[in-house]
Amino acid sequence: MHTPSYPRGRFGLLKSAPFSLAMLAASAMTTNLAQADTVNVATQAYDIPAGPLGSSLNRFAQQAGVAIVFQSQELEGLKGPGLKGSYGIQDGFDRLLQGSGYHAVKGDQVYALQPAPTAGSGTLELGPTQVTGNQLGNVTENSGSYTPGTIATSTRLVLTPKETPQSVSVVTRQHMDDFGLNNVDDVMRHTPGITVSAFDTERSNYYARGFSINNFQYDGIPSTARNVAYSAGNTLSDMAIYDRVEVLKGATGLLTGGGSLGATINLVRKKPTADFQGHATLGAGSWDNYRSELDVSGPMTESGNVRGRAVAAYQDKHSFMDHYSRKSPTYYGIMEFDLSPDTLLTVGGDYQDSLPKGSSWSGSFPLINSKGDRNSVKRSFNNAADWSSWEQYTRTVFAMLEHDLGNGWVTKLQLDHKINGYHALMGSIQGDQPQPDGTAQLTSGKYTGETVSDSADLYVSGPFSLGGREHELVLGGSISASEWKGKGYWNLSPNIVDFNNWHGHATIPDWGKAQSLTDDTVRQTGAYVTTRLNLADDLKLLLGGRVVNYQVTGYNPNYRESGRFVPYIGAVYDLNDTYAVYASYTDIFMPQENYNRDRDNKLLEPDEGQNWELGVKADFLDGRVNASAAYFEIRESNRALSDDEYNNQTPIPNNYAYKSSKAVTKGYEVEMSGEIAPGWQLQAGYTHKVVRDDKDVKISTFEPEDQIKLYTTYKLKGNLDKLTVGGGVRWQSVGWQDIYNNPHGQYEEFSQDAYWLVDLMTRYQVTKNLSATLNVNNLFDKSYYTNIGFYNSAAYGEPRNFMVTTRWDF
């Protein structure tokens, strides 16, 4: 006989090695703990309706201010009787679990779900367990699901998607593994409502609801808003180190402060596990695409109070484009320490490089030649010199300290130090090329720099009673500072090449001294509050706000915003156990980039806007499926648009000017994700939106007004149960943009017609630990553009390609 090892505190993880325990000892311990609960925790009133047992347990634990750990699959299909009346914690668990075959046993502040002893049995066996949630929401790894349990991206409150009064799309670990989504670009292409525009081989921009996305969070901590023109690692981050990617649609000023209107991308890191686990993968695909990955996690002490995880990934990828390749090494480590029964310390870091050769610059080919005619090139054409290379790197260290204050209250401090750098030696064929004799001039530039960012966020969260009901409150504050130092070089000396026989061979220019310098510092502080008021059993009101101080100093025009208040209002009304209707309002602002200046060289006023949203949400099949339908409207002021009347004068002005414009986005979206039937996973969404300026003219037309994304897998049954099959489709409506044809002296429309892309996947489970997955992308080899009109260029999307990946789990 031996005594079980329970976790140390609310945030500890159970060491999940199987063990046996005599019934008498288990009964005695349960009795003693129940008596302790009676002494230490007063009874309180609960009103939890009958429903899925797992959901009922989580709801009860949240209201009681404790944590409960269990395997979610253990409770699939089990219904709970609900709970109405006043109960102590142990009594409440006992009532909810009555007749389920389980009971709750307390270890410090964490309750573990155990099989109830049955008559005639001498021992009971415990299988692996896991914490079902933390202050970031549910871990999706090993869930096998395409939908999350809970999330905290919107308000810091840990809520289910149905309880969150904004649109949130989540791409889970299972979805990424099934379809080989290895970087942020891949994930965004699968995310409903997101448009991915590849400016060139190294720079991508994401759009949501008509706006560029420059808001990135890591474990819920906002990172410095990225400058798309000087890409430095954000969009190339390797997915090997992340559990899931959450995309919060619309304005997100409550937790972000300054940022863009479209959406916020939150990358949630993998966490150490209580049990030893790991996997190794090897993959090979089209155009000499090779990838390897090693991930090891588990306890580092016998008691399990220290846990660690290490991840390494390496990709060596060539391309359908001539003389282009990229190597991407990634390393990640994280450790958790139970400092006391109620305190958890997490520290970690990552190291990522992107090392390309033959980087294209401004599309992959120029659209117009010197006569004003359209160029026609193969998809493999690469406008870059073979020495052209936009290298990017990311270095990050982070720490989190979480403490259980008791009575359901927790506090959390997060620290993040990040370096995003780039070293770009660029040369490509741009502009109105080639000339009538077939020659073209190479445009060259060298750009180096890095941004060093430091962020800190501290908040407390917990329940409070008012008016006979229990409500929730978050109080927090954050501070961040980032300094971007950069240099720019360019050589305008003629570098003439043969366009019709272009293979990337060109002379590297003499760069000389730097001709432009950047040294800008952005400082932002803020205090925020969120409360979730339980006005009635079926009505929740969320109120919040953030006070922002924002300052930019450096070589570029200084800017300061002090005491800016960002409101947040949301309401959720439960129609029944399945459906809820919601409405929300919030806003956000973002200082302009330094190049967004008017014809008098004055910086435009900050871009800002308000986001209204209303819709219906639902969860089905005991929460295994989430669905939503939303109507949204965003009203924007000070949108930077090209001042064409000024820019197209003859002679051409020395400065390129922008002007402020108002814009309104209106649209709707429908989304569903989860296990719609046993073994059948689905994520699907349809989005429609239109953006119009203050003259009621459509803008942002290079983004499709309509798009559909659907990805699904199915694990076969019976004799074929080792086989999983799946696939996906992406469709978007026509996108177009007016480009200025200099040789013709007029605007011309350039468009990408509507198109479908079809992907397939299949996995075979060779043994319990070994599997092989085949992914085929763009099955019908559709030719399409991923960018239209950027600096009068275009870039092709990838032709049909495949990847075979073997995975060994241990």
DSSP 551-594: EEEESSPPEEEEEEEEEEEEEEEESSSSEEEEEEEEEEEEPPPT
Question: Two tokens at 156?
Answer: 């810091």
Distance CA 34, CA 29 (A): 8
In the chain, the amino acid numbered 574 is D
pLDDT confidence of 172, banded at 50, 70, 90? very high
Distance CA 681, CA 498 (A): 51
pLDDT digits (tens, 9 = 90+) for 524-577: 999 999 999 999 999 999 999 999 999 988 887 788 889 999 999 999 999 999
Share of the chain above pLDDT 70, in %: 90
Helices (H) and strands (E) counted in the chain, each on its own, are 7, 43
Quick one: average pLDDT of 631-635? 96
Among 10-24, 150-164, 683-697, the range with the most confident prediction by mean pLDDT is 683-697
- The count of C-alpha atoms lying within 13 angstroms of the C-alpha of 561, restricted to the half-sphere facing its C-beta, is 24
Does pLDDT of 41 surpass 70?
Answer: no
Quick one: average pLDDT of 22-44? 41
pLDDT confidence of 362, banded at 50, 70, 90? very high
Segment among 39-53, 258-272, 487-501 with least mean pLDDT = 39-53
pLDDT digits (tens, 9 = 90+) for 643-692: 888 887 888 888 888 988 899 999 999 999 999 999 999 999 999 999 99
Domain ranges of the chain: 42-116, 268-809
Question: Two tokens at 373?
Answer: 């005619």
Quick one: average pLDDT of 78-82? 76
- pLDDT for residue 655: 83
pLDDT confidence of 37, banded at 50, 70, 90? very low
Does pLDDT of 55 surpass 60?
Answer: yes
Q: Are 369 and 335 in contact (CB under 8 A)?
A: no
- pLDDT for residue 226: 62
pLDDT confidence of 22, banded at 50, 70, 90? very low
Q: Are 267 and 226 in contact (CB under 8 A)?
A: no
Does pLDDT of 71 surpass 50?
Answer: yes
Residues 6+ apart with CB under 8 A from 718: none
pLDDT confidence of 90, banded at 50, 70, 90? confident
Q: How many CB atoms lie within 10 A of CB 500?
A: 10
Measured in whole angstroms, how far is the alpha carbon of residue 155 from the centre of its chain?
16
Does pLDDT of 354 surpass 60?
Answer: yes
Segment among 4-18, 76-90, 339-353, 448-462 with least mean pLDDT = 4-18
Residue with tokens 């241990």: 810
Does pLDDT of 74 surpass 70?
Answer: no
Distance CA 325, CA 327 (A): 7
Mean pLDDT over each residue of the chain, to the nearest integer = 87
Distance CA 482, CA 463 (A): 35
Q: Is 583 left (phi over 0), alpha (psi -120 to 50) or beta?
A: beta
Does pLDDT of 777 surpass 80?
Answer: yes
- pLDDT for residue 48: 82
Q: Are 62 and 133 in contact (CB under 8 A)?
A: no
Q: Are 404 and 343 in contact (CB under 8 A)?
A: yes
pLDDT confidence of 4, banded at 50, 70, 90? very low
Class of domain 42-116: alpha beta
- pLDDT for residue 129: 33
Does pLDDT of 33 surpass 50?
Answer: no
- pLDDT for residue 14: 33
Q: Are 77 and 621 in contact (CB under 8 A)?
A: no
pLDDT confidence of 277, banded at 50, 70, 90? very high
pLDDT digits (tens, 9 = 90+) for 491-501: 888 899 999 99
DSSP 595-650: T-B-TTSPBPPPEEEEEEEEEEEEEETTTTEEEEEEEEEEEEEEEEEE-HHHHT-S
pLDDT digits (tens, 9 = 90+) for 285-338: 999 999 999 999 999 999 999 999 999 999 999 999 999 999 999 999 999 999
Q: Which of 285, 359, 403 is nearest to 761 (CA)?
A: 285
Cβ neighbourhood burial of 50 (10 Å; 0-12, 13-18, 19+): middle
pLDDT digits (tens, 9 = 90+) for 106-132: 754 467 777 765 433 433 333 333 333
- pLDDT for residue 228: 67
- pLDDT for residue 393: 94
Segment among 145-149, 221-225, 403-407 with least mean pLDDT = 221-225
Name the pairing type of β-strands 746-752 and 735-741: antiparallel
Does pLDDT of 249 surpass 90?
Answer: yes
Could you say which of 2.60.120.1570, 1.20.1250.20, 2.40.170.20, 3.30.70.141 is the CATH number of the domain covering 268-809?
2.40.170.20
Q: Are 353 and 329 in contact (CB under 8 A)?
A: yes
- pLDDT for residue 225: 59
